[in-house]
Structure 1
Amino acid sequence: MATAHPLLLLPLLLASAWAQCPAPADLKNADGSKICAQLYTDDSPYYAQCCGGNVLQVQPGNDVPYIPLSWNDKISSLVVAPRCDLSVWSRTGKKGYSRKFNSGVVYRLQEIKKGLFGNWDNSISAYYCKCN
């Protein structure tokens, strides 16, 4: 029986360690119910490596005007489930700039404009998620 050389397995191990954004339709809880959105602390210059770091699962109907400090201004990529909308604000208490994200993947929030000169990378401080 032949065994693979350890160096040949290294690229496979590294590839599995990279984050990859889930398909919007795959956002499900363990019991099969829908997750409205998933928020991630990390992104990458490479789309295949986005949606990494810590993950915050947002359930349908979650209304969070004051995001926990460990998540405030730390979100860099997100995925929104089909038939769901994620509304976000740049300041706590649902103040500041706002934006609505429909179903889909946003690999890098730095590519989404916020105001004249800013972007949404590390700028989310409140959110509301609803599904139809």
Structure 2
Amino acid sequence: MAATQTLLLLPLLLASAWAQCPAPADLKNADGSKICAQLYTDSSPYYAQCCGGSVLQVQPGDDVPYLTLAWINRVSSLVVAPRCELNVWSRLGKEGYTRKFNSGIVYRLEELKKGLFGNWDNSISAYYCKCA
């Protein structure tokens, strides 16, 4: 009987292990100060499983014209805090296509057009984030 109950609970345990995007208002540092945005390397066809993989916390006022090799062109989903704005560029040095993200969740950057044929999945190379 115990083995059957364990097997029945397994899908629930796995579901809780999947990533889920935080609410924009929940973006806070350990000391309670605001995080401007969080960038994630993974997304999923299922919105409830987006915002997974590695996490990059972007602080208010961060101005990064050159992402590190670990992050360049790897962002697949993001969350921006209330009263904040994340500006991104598709090429290093704040060149190429640009886009502004206001407060909210972008589950799948591949759903946002970039140019005529592209999308924003794995396309962010630089960013600037500010909060009011």
Return the offset for 1:13: 1.1
> Structure 1 counterpart of 2:11, which letter?
P
Where do residues 20-31 of structure 1 align in structure 2 (5 Å cutoff)?
Answer: 20-31=20-31
- SS of the residue aligned with 2:20? coil
Q: Which runs of 5+ in 2 are unaligned?
A: none
Q: CA RMSD in A?
A: 1.3
Distance 1:126 1:37, change over 3 A: same
Return the offset for 1:50: 0.4
Return the offset for 1:8: 2.0
Paired position in structure 1 for 2:122: 122
Structure-1 separation of matches of 2:113 and 2:3: 51
- SS of the residue aligned with 2:21? coil
> Structure 2 counterpart of 1:77, which letter?
S
Q: Which runs of 5+ in 1 are unaligned?
A: none
* Identity over aligned pairs, percent: 82
1:105 and 2:86 aligned: no
Return the offset for 1:3: 9.7
Following TM superposition, where does structure 1 have runs of at least 4 consecutive aligned residues deviating by more than 3 angstroms? none
Where do residues 1-132 of structure 1 align in structure 2 (5 Å cutoff)?
Answer: 5-132=5-132
Return the offset for 1:5: 2.1
**Aligned length, in residue pairs:** 131
| TM-score using structure 2 length | 0.96
Structure-1 separation of matches of 2:35 and 2:45: 26
Name whichever of 9-18 and 69-78 sits farther off.
9-18
> Structure 2 counterpart of 1:27, which letter?
L
Return the offset for 1:97: 0.3
Return the offset for 1:4: 8.1
Return the offset for 1:44: 0.3
